[in-house]
Structure 1
Amino acid sequence: MLNIFHEGQSLEKATKVAILIHGRGASVSSILSLQEHLNLEDFALVLPQAENNSWYPYSFMAPDHMNEPSLSNAIQEIDHIVQDLLKQGFSSDRIYLIGFSQGACLSLEYAGRNPKKYGGVIAFTGGLIGEQLDIPKYKGDFEGAPIFIGSSEEDMHVPLSRIEDSKEVLKSMGAKVNMLIFPDRYHTIRQEEVDWVNLNILTSKKKMMV
């Protein structure tokens, strides 16, 4: 089982819950830094910590068997969190998935395999996982759930073609997918992404980062 940390509002008092999923080689403290920039003041924050700081060992586009069983275990762990939140009375539209890099890929992959009317899925540089997209495994209906993907045109880890293909798969399942793609090569989260997500998905009145 993962180490799971809790920040923000208590689950008893929160109106919404965000599952924050860190990137490769990172930790809950790195992804928690988004709390200073995103409008999460009304949220309970659930932060799973990957064993050895990575959710799976190789590229998200490596041959599928190379990332097993780590990838399947990671998907299962995220599902345990989601199912527990549902049992505690949070409807799916009050559950948000937020990830960066490897955590963004895992957020999209989990949601793609388990579509619901989430409050939002926010992927800062990520795409669906697999050497080739296995389209038949993505079944179900997002019922209009908003999904955001932000990245660069030439990210060193996540090809734009995979992001675009992921968008089409998720749209075909009823998600409202929006992308912000930037004309650079930086593997980072930009102010424009933060502003868009705050305005269009998180929507609270918290002061924007300056």
Structure 2
Amino acid sequence: MRRVGPTSGARVGIVLAHGRGGNSEDIIGLMQYAGLTDVAALAPDAPGQSWWPTSFLAPAATLAPYVERGVDTLMQGVAALEAEGVPRGSIWLGGFSQGAGLALETFARRGEGLAGVFGFSGGLLGTGDGDATPDPALYGHGQKRFDYSGRRDGAKAWISVHERDPHIPLKRVRDSVAALQAMGAEVGSVVYPGSGHSVMPEDMAKLRAWLG
């Protein structure tokens, strides 16, 4: 697990998940880019540079073992920061693309007491399958359920996406925003115009504003 920032005395921490084909060095580099060198940041590497082998829109049974392993990995990072003295209420999750989905899913499933989450070009994976009818708004995949338990009152979430993202349908982003709001989180989201799949300057501005 790669890390940057102070190893003791940090007031804020974050666990970051990279995208498919990326690595921990890629995603943790966002901290230096954002000028957040005083934040304790950890970033694990996914096996084979991928948290799961298919689209995050795939059926739940296909994704389940990979998602559970990924969630456990990010929570190990949270535990490591807590062991260094960072309060749980000052620890964030974050990620890009596939890593954004993992960070958001970890926050929804096991993020009670955390400060919040950043999902750059991503969305929730869901708790199970809904209507399996192929939906054009989900790039031909079926619906998911978002039956998360617990509350996230006082926590913040940021979800961003391009209006024509080749991997992340707008519908899934909107469903993700609604699901986290229903759990009590304060959710900010932005849809960037045009096509694309990347971390944008507004994402970095939000990272600085919430962690700085």
TM-score, normalised by the number of residues in structure 2: 0.86
Amino acid at match of 1:8: G
Equivalent pair of 1:24/1:54 in contact (CA under 8 Å):
yes
Tell me how far 1:49 sits from its aligned partner. Answer: 0.6
Amino acid at match of 1:85: L
Which shows bigger deviation, 159-168 or 187-196? 187-196
Which shows bigger deviation, 85-94 or 58-67? 85-94
In the alignment, structure 2 segments of 5+ residues that lack a partner are: 127-141
Q: Superposition pairs for residues 57-136 of structure 1, below 5 Å? A: 57-130=53-126, 132-136=143-147
SS class of match (1:168): helix
Measure, in 2, the Cα distance between the counterparts of 1:31 and 1:8. Answer: 14
Measure, in 2, the Cα distance between the counterparts of 1:132 and 1:89. Answer: 41
In structure 2, the residue matched to 1:24 is 20
Q: Which of 3, 6, 14 pairs up with 1:6?
A: 3
Structure 1 residue 188 corresponds to structure 2 residue 185? no
Structure 1 residue 173 corresponds to structure 2 residue 205? no
Measure, in 2, the Cα distance between the counterparts of 1:132 and 1:108. Answer: 18
Measure, in 2, the Cα distance between the counterparts of 1:133 and 1:171. Answer: 17
Measure, in 2, the Cα distance between the counterparts of 1:132 and 1:87. Answer: 39
Q: Which of 167, 180, 204 pairs up with 1:157?
A: 167
Which shows bigger deviation, 59-68 or 43-52? 59-68
From the superposition, tell whether residues 60 and 35 of structure 1 become closer, same or farther in structure 2 (CA, over 3 Å).
Answer: same
Measure, in 2, the Cα distance between the counterparts of 1:106 and 1:17. Answer: 17
Amino acid at match of 2:117: V
Measure, in 2, the Cα distance between the counterparts of 1:132 and 1:110. Answer: 20
TM-score, normalised by the number of residues in structure 1: 0.87
Equivalent pair of 1:23/1:54 in contact (CA under 8 Å):
yes
Measure, in 1, the Cα distance between the counterparts of 2:97 and 2:155. Answer: 21
In structure 1, the residue matched to 2:156 is 146
SS class of match (1:118): coil
In the alignment, structure 1 segments of 5+ residues that lack a partner are: 205-210
1:18-38 residue CA offsets vs partner (Å, 9 max, x unmatched): 111100011011112212322
Measure, in 2, the Cα distance between the counterparts of 1:45 and 1:13. Answer: 13
Equivalent pair of 1:115/1:141 in contact (CA under 8 Å):
no
RMSD: 1.6
Identity over aligned pairs, percent: 34
Which shows bigger deviation, 36-45 or 12-21? 36-45
